[in-house]
């Protein structure tokens, strides 16, 4: 593995900005991340050795390519150069799924013969803006999302047929319409061009359905470890109640439901909530309920109604949780809180808040979810102090 660690192997290393650590041996990357967590959580919590990957390449199950024209008016696809709207051509990436990269190149090669114009950000003309590919590691299912500027896609049936002939491993193709001048890749409207419109993956022995706009962890190998660790930390018992806040498609709550009495999941994105409800049904799970709401508002309502829970899981976006959520979570008085985080700074901030609310952080398990980059995922266990309130 170590021998692969050479920036020479990635021609766009500096321009892309995606793999900040690509020029560091993997062992040094891990050491650096662990040291950073120790530093950030000093005085708050013990930090365990980081859980790394055996093969830290090609781990991503989601690949995105932007389509456009270069200065010579040639069709290019790849990534935006960091902080700009210039497209850096990418044909191959060290952390993306190799099959996904192949499919993107096939699509690029087909555009001319199918007369599909790529979108021009300056003039607003053209059709194809982005391609997004999701692969399910356990089942091999592959979703291709073609993001177009408008709804009219003249050659779509022939195009999809030809694409499937070249890549029979594709299991569903979706047209997503995004007419807005925005940095968001996906728009709100979608047509399924072929297949079911979603893919299914298996994690920790459970099946999960994923649609194009739902959040799903991008590194399935490390996610199995992360979720397993979250369950070990929670140590749920049969009669206990758990909350899964920021639950996405319900992964953590559904895994917890196997050991708990009942589980309540809350999530803002309605597509993800729909996936979560389906996932409960698909896995034959009856002791879980999902609610579409802001996690803070929902938790506040639970607290106001005098609800109680034994364990609260929270897995917020990088910016972390809110005072409203954390205060309400403390009011429903769980004996344990399991905080999963992809934002080390917001994690440290929120752990301080929880400390003042009577929850002591016991241990932090860093997980290398994003090898070659500077990002760090963590799972932290907090316990309610016996005497109710903690410091302050």
Q: Which residues bind ligand SAH (CB under 6 A)?
A: 215-217, 246-248, 251-252, 266-269, 272, 294-295, 315-317
Q: Where are the alpha helices (DSSP H) in 136-294?
A: 156-166, 220-234, 251-257, 270-282
User: Residue 13 and residue 8: Cα distance in Å, rounded?
Assistant: 8
The 8-class DSSP code of residue 282 comes to H
Annotated active-site residue in 19, 77, 342, 364:
342
Residue owning tokens 């968001």:
184
Nearer to ligand SAH, 175 or 219 (CB): 219
Helices (H) and strands (E) in the chain, counts: 10, 17
Residue of 349, 345, 357, 354 lying closest to 381 (CA atoms)? 354
- 16 as an active site residue: the answer is no
Nearer to ligand SAH, 220 or 316 (CB): 316
Compute the CA torsion angle 153, 162, 201, 59 (nearest 10 deg). -100
Nearer to ligand SAH, 41 or 247 (CB): 247
Q: Where are the alpha helices (DSSP H) in the chain?
A: 13-16, 26-40, 98-110, 156-166, 220-234, 251-257, 270-282, 295-304, 323-331, 344-356
The 8-class DSSP code of residue 118 comes to B
Residue 211 near residue 176, CB atoms below 8 Å: no
Ranked by CB distance to ligand SAH, the top (closest) residue is 248
Nearer to ligand SAH, 121 or 224 (CB): 224
Nearer to ligand SAH, 128 or 185 (CB): 185
Q: Could you write out the DSSP letters of every residue in 235-246?
A: ---TT-EEEEES
Q: How far is the CB of 15 from ligand SAH (least distance, A)?
A: 28
Compute the CA torsion angle 44, 45, 50, 51 (nearest 10 deg). -130
Q: How far is the CB of 372 from ligand SAH (least distance, A)?
A: 21
Nearer to ligand SAH, 161 or 232 (CB): 232
Q: How far is the CB of 348 from ligand SAH (least distance, A)?
A: 18
Nearer to ligand SAH, 61 or 148 (CB): 61
Residue 356 near residue 391, CB atoms below 8 Å: yes
Q: How far is the CB of 298 from ligand SAH (least distance, A)?
A: 8
Residue of 210, 212, 163, 211 lying closest to 185 (CA atoms)? 212
Q: How far is the CB of 267 from ligand SAH (least distance, A)?
A: 5
Q: How far is the CB of 159 from ligand SAH (least distance, A)?
A: 31
Angle at 23 between CA 18 and CA 27, to 5 degrees: 105
Q: How far is the CB of 169 from ligand SAH (least distance, A)?
A: 24
Is residue 323 helix, strand or coil? helix
User: Residue 368 and residue 219: Cα distance in Å, rounded?
Assistant: 9
- Catalytic residue numbers, as ranges: 342
């Amino acid at each position: 593995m170590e021998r692969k660690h050479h920036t020479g192997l990635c021609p766009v290393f500096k321009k892309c900005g995606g793999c900040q650590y690509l020029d560091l041996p993997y062992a040094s990357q891990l050491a650096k991340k662990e040291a950073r967590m120790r530093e950030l959580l000093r005085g708050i919590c013990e930090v365990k050795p980081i859980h790394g990957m055996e093969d830290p390449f090609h781990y991503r199950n989601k690949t995105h390519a932007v389509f456009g024209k270069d200065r010579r008016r040639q069709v290019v696809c790849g990534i935006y150069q960091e902080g700009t709207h210039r497209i850096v051509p990418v044909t191959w990436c060290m952390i993306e799924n190799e099959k996904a990269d192949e499919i993107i190149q096939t699509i690029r090669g087909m555009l001319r013969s199918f007369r599909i114009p790529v979108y021009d950000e300056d003039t607003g003309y053209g059709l194809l803006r982005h391609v997004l590919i999701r692969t399910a590691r356990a089942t091999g299912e592959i979703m291709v999302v073609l993001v177009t500027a408008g709804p009219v896609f003249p050659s779509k049936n022939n195009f999809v047929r030809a694409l499937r002939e070249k890549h029979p491993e594709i299991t569903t193709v979706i047209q997503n319409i995004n007419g807005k001048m925005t940095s968001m890749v996906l728009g709100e409207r979608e047509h399924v061009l072929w297949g079911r419109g979603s893919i299914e993956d298996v994690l920790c022995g459970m099946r999960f359905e994923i649609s194009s706009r739902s959040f799903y962890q991008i590194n399935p190998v490390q996610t199995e470890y992360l979720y397993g660790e979250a369950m070990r930390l929670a140590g749920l018992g049969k009669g206990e109640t758990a909350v899964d806040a920021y639950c996405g498609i319900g992964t953590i709550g559904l895994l917890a439901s196997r050991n708990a009495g009942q589980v309540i999941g809350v999530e803002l994105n309605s597509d993800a909530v729909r996936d979560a409800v389906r996932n409960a049904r698909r896995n034959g799970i009856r002791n879980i309920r999902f609610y579409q709401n802001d996690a803070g508002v929902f938790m506040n309502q639970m607290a106001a109604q005098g609800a109680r829970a034994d364990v609260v899981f929270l897995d917020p976006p990088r910016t972390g949780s809110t005072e409203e959520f954390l205060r309400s979570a403390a009011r429903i008085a769980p004996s344990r809180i399991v905080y999963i985080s992809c934002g080390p700074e917001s994690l440290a901030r929120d752990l301080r808040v929880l400390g003042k609310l009577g929850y002591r952080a016991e241990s932090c398990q860093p997980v290398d979810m994003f090898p070659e980059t500077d990002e760090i995922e963590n799972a932290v266990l907090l316990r309610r102090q016996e005497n109710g309130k903690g410091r302050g």
